[in-house]
Amino acid sequence: MSGSLVERAPAKINLSLHILGRRDDGFHELESLVCFSAGGDTLTLEPDALLSLQVDGPTAVQAGDLSENLVLRATHALRARVPGLKAGRFTLVKRLPVAAGIGGGSSDAAAALRLLAGLNDLALDDPRVFEAAAEIGSDVPVCVHAQARMMRGRGEKLGALITLPRLFAVLVNPGVPVETKSVFARIGLNIGQSSGFGGHPLIDENPSREGLVAAMKKARNDMEDAASVIAPVIGHCLAVLAAAPGAKLARMSGSGATCFALFEDCRAAKMAACVIRRDHPEWWVKSSLLR
């Protein structure tokens, strides 16, 4: 195969994130409805070249040491399971903020696995692809198909794909990185301890917009309070989003600091994004269709 292969690496948005407790292996038991943005990073693979990675784009400086990049780690993890795996030269254009609760690195790794699977005639549901994804990080498996679904356990238990109604959203990141481990430490669950917060509302595989928003209003992000203590600006972001005309729901994604609001239509979302960007030029602000 010749010619460049290209994959989009969208933002992962946790519409909900329930923490049920902490397992005996130290991981937290989660229930989360995950969906993906229309935009994000872009990953290109040029086959028939030595394995390498170049990172460009607006947030490339924040991406850290190339040797630790999840694109290369995902490639090595799959190569360990597929002898003779063909790879090549990767170019990653980073647009998503880093350490932002929207799975930028995980989505990049998943995009690499999709590219490698296509290059090597592997199905995305090949167990070796899933095993490589799970080795890299808890959020990577759900990012492989990059379509809405429930994610449970520490991320290894994936529900059926969900066909979302058209969800118009505004994503806001105030530029403050928040480490997931710091948020979990602030929550402070001991091994084997239940959170007692309660389970997740049922989600249909083909929900209406009204039904989904109603269910999400009953759901939570159990990391939101702890993250807001670590980064108080999160509370400000949520207040700004909730006050925007047409906003139906405002919530933090993942472990933060990115927050989102759902809107009735595309026009309301775009207008809100424009106003927030004007009033907070230091924030990363995007309107997006979620899927």
> Which distant-in-sequence residues (6+ apart) come within 8 Å of 261 by Cβ?
169, 170, 241, 242, 244, 247, 248, 249, 250, 251, 272
Measure the CA–CA gap between 99 and 14, rounded to whole angstroms: 14
10, containing H or E segment: strand 5-14
Measure the CA–CA gap between 91 and 217, rounded to whole angstroms: 39
Identify whether the C-beta of residue 73 lies closer than 8 Å to the C-beta of residue 109.
yes
List Cα–Cα distances, 171 to 34, 156, 242, in angstroms: 15, 26, 12
Measure the CA–CA gap between 257 and 263, rounded to whole angstroms: 20
Measure the CA–CA gap between 291 and 288, rounded to whole angstroms: 10
Active site positions, annotated: 12, 139
The pairing of strands 52-56 and 28-47 is unpaired
How many Cβ atoms from other residues are within 10 Å of residue 58's Cβ?
12
- CA neighbor of 283 nearest in space, from 250, 258, 253, 248: 258
> Which distant-in-sequence residues (6+ apart) come within 8 Å of 118 by Cβ?
5
Identify whether the C-beta of residue 244 lies closer than 8 Å to the C-beta of residue 261.
yes
Angle between helices 104-119 and 127-136 (to 10 degrees): 150
